Amino acid sequence: MATTLGDRLIELRLRRSLTQEQLAEKADLSVDTVRKLEQNQRMTARMSTLNKLAWALDVETSVLLGAPRMLEPSNGVEPPSLLALRQAVTPLSDFPGVGDSEDVPVPTIAQLRDSIRSTERIRRQGELRKITAILPTLLADARAAVREYTGEDRAAAYAVLSEAYQVAATTLTAFGKEDAAYTALERSMAAAKQSDDARLEVIGVSTLSWIFSKQGRVADAEGVAVRMAERIEPGFRSAPIDLSLWGILLLRGASAAVRAERSDTAEDLLSLATAAAARVGVDRLDYATPFGPTNAGVAVVNAYVDMGKPDKALSHAKRITNVSSLPPTWLARHRLDVALAYAEMNRDFEATRTLLAAERTAPEWMRYHSTSRHLVAELRERERRRSSPIAELAARLEIDT
């Protein structure tokens, strides 16, 4: 079984009966880039490069990156599988006459809201085992409330159901299950229309943009984010939360534009988002998503990394003063970007130190994140000592030798 990016690239290329030269031409890349990846001289690549290769090979980008590790036992207890989450998103109760109805106690609206807030806190910590354990129950509870209640309570239950489906969508996407994630998001958007919270549709489109980016559908990712941003563009008297949601959409669009190598568009969107963050003035957390001066700055660093400008990424990162305010998963992702920039400049000591900081911030997130695993594998290959911090990190992440 192919275990590295290079191994998967060879396997997929041979399946398509392509030479390295033909793949490079089809992907509009240099043969040297394809060769170095296949020879495992490089185990990471810019997302724009990966998207081009995936398009040329007619696969989703997540296939090229490889499926993230599945959930494994913890402290001797077998965790719920992703199958359980799939079943929760598409329960048999949706098919009258052939499936069993869900027989669960109906929670109060207050209990539902407490559950979704707790779920969001766990999500920010990157604790994927816990998320997969609690989401099936939360989804069943919310569906029971929707069936039971009427009027304002029913609309409030639909709001919780919409958010729960969104969390399911992001969790499934993190494990490379974009098909199931798309189904979850469709259900989230349908529930949002029945809810008492009009903003849920906006954050749902933000999630859709992220899923499209993960699939390599960068034009669609940019398009849906920008169109929704245009639709909700705030005015002079808009509330801070509406500025925040607008800014989140702009950052999604900018990220997609970078990966599509539309740098001018990306810079325009980042400029608008930075201005919106300045108007907000503080770092906010709305619908479990941060936005403000810090997150806008972090997004610029991410863009420079994806553009292949590591020096600018590191220079900008030094100017961000409040990164510790970010939720753990966002902070770990930022530290991964900084580590990627260091590695690109062959500053492996700093890259390793930054990866270790990311691991301390969100250890479980590190274990399942494809890019972090690829970078650790690459740095370990470049490190000749058998015992070293990067080798020890690779061992903790159980990266195959």
pLDDT score at 78: 40
Alpha-carbon distance 269 to 255, whole Å?
Answer: 9
Contacts 24+ apart (CB under 8 A), 102-111: 102/140, 102/143, 102/144, 104/140, 104/141, 104/144, 105/144, 106/141, 106/144, 106/145, 106/148, 106/149, 107/141, 107/144, 107/145, 109/145, 109/149, 109/153, 109/156, 109/157, 109/160, 111/141
149 by DSSP, 3-state: which? coil
Alpha-carbon distance 334 to 356, whole Å?
Answer: 13
The model carries a pTM of 0.81
Task: Answer yes or no: is pLDDT of 74 > 50.
Answer: no
pLDDT band at 43 (very low <50, low <70, confident <90, very high): low
pLDDT band at 103 (very low <50, low <70, confident <90, very high): low
- Chain center to CA of 305: 16
Alpha-carbon distance 162 to 142, whole Å?
Answer: 9
Task: Answer yes or no: is pLDDT of 79 > 60.
Answer: no
pLDDT score at 131: 83
Q: Distances from the Cα of 25 to the Cαs of 21, 48, 52, 255, in angstroms?
A: 6, 15, 11, 25
Task: Answer yes or no: is pLDDT of 24 > 80.
Answer: yes
Alpha-carbon distance 349 to 268, whole Å?
Answer: 34
pLDDT score at 298: 96
Question: pLDDT tens across 198-218, in order?
Answer: 999 999 999 999 999 888 889
pLDDT score at 108: 92
Phi then psi dihedrals of residue 289, to 5 deg = -120, 125
Task: Answer yes or no: is pLDDT of 81 > 70.
Answer: no
Beta-carbon-side half-sphere exposure of residue 207 (alpha carbons within 13 Å): 32
Residue 341 gets the label, from left (phi > 0), alpha (psi -120 to 50) or beta, of alpha
Task: Answer yes or no: is pLDDT of 63 > 60.
Answer: yes
Task: Answer yes or no: is pLDDT of 318 > 80.
Answer: yes
User: Which domains, ranges and CATH numbers included, belong to the chain?
Assistant: 1-70 (1.10.260.40), 80-197 (no CATH), 327-401 (no CATH)
Task: Answer yes or no: is pLDDT of 353 > 60.
Answer: yes
Q: Chain-wide mean pLDDT for the chain?
A: 87
pLDDT score at 77: 44
Task: Answer yes or no: is pLDDT of 101 > 70.
Answer: no
pLDDT band at 45 (very low <50, low <70, confident <90, very high): confident
Question: pLDDT tens across 275-306, in order?
Answer: 999 999 999 999 889 999 999 999 999 999 99
Q: Which residues, 6 or more positions from 32, have their beta carbon under 8 angstroms from its beta carbon?
A: none
Beta bridge partners of 289: 286
pLDDT band at 84 (very low <50, low <70, confident <90, very high): confident
pLDDT score at 6: 83
Question: pLDDT tens across 298-308, in order?
Answer: 999 999 999 99
